[in-house]
Amino acid sequence: MADTEPKFSEFPFSKWLESIIKEMFNIKPVAIALEMLDEGGQVYTCYWNTSPDDRSRMMGGMEDDNRMAWVMANRDEIAQILSDDYEDEEEGEDG
Q: Which residue has the higher pLDDT, 65 or 3?
A: 65
- Does residue 89 register a pLDDT over 80? no
Domain extents in the chain: 8-94
* CA-based torsion, 47, 69, 15, 7: positive or negative: positive
Q: Which residues lie below 8 Å from residue 14, measured CB to CB, with a gap of 6+?
A: 8
Is pLDDT above 60 for 95?
no
The two beta strands, 32-37 and 43-48, are antiparallel
What letter would DSSP give residue 34? E
Q: pLDDT tens digit string along 25-79?
A: 999 999 999 999 999 999 999 999 999 999 999 999 999 999 999 999 999 999 9
What pLDDT, on the 0 to 100 scale, is given for residue 70? Answer: 96
Crossing angle of the two packed helices 52-73 and 75-94, in degrees rounded to 10: 70
Per-residue pLDDT at 83: 87
